Amino acid sequence: MDDRLFRDAMGKFATGITVLLTENDGVPHGMTANGFMSVSLDPKLVVISIGHKAKFLEKVKQSKKFSVNILSEDQEHYSRHFAGQLGEDVQFDQLSGLPVLKDTIAQIACEVVSEHVEGDHTLFIGKVIDLHLEDKNPLLFFGGKYRQLAELAIV
């Protein structure tokens, strides 16, 4: 199967956008990702997927912790910054000792409980230790483009 065809097919699934963060020796590190989902309610677990070429992979392996920051519709600049497309000065907040981004829809602090190598990615299962929520609309990604949520008119 052609790689491009597979990527195009996966792009037909609309996703939210997250920035994953961790900290090593007091220095925050991050990457933009849409490979994130909840796994379990009891215990509260999430999974993130990190490609083996990403520098962030080793940072999480070392720290054994990460935060998931779900971006709002006005935070495309964070997505581009942590994807290496923009350079900007980012100010971090803290949640349970982990760096988080200000004003995101959700900040989720996690401790790694297991990791699984699957294909060219490593899946990290994280136990949720803290979270913070805001009431905002999400930034979405579909078909290789940023999108925003729109309400449908009820007829």
pLDDT at 151: 82
Mean pLDDT of each 10-residue bin along the chain, 155 residues long: 87 91 96 94 97 96 98 95 85 96 97 97 98 95 88 80
**Exposed, middle or buried: residue 123 (CB in 10 Å: 0-12, 13-18, 19+)?**
middle
What pLDDT is recorded for position 12?
Answer: 85
Half-sphere exposure of 135 (CA within 13 A, CB side): 0
Rg (CA), the chain: 16
Percentages (nearest 5) of helix, strand, coil residues in the chain: 15, 50, 35
Confidence at residue 84, expressed as pLDDT on a 0 to 100 scale: 86
Residue 36: φ, ψ to 5°? -150, 140
Rounded to two decimals, the pTM is: 0.91
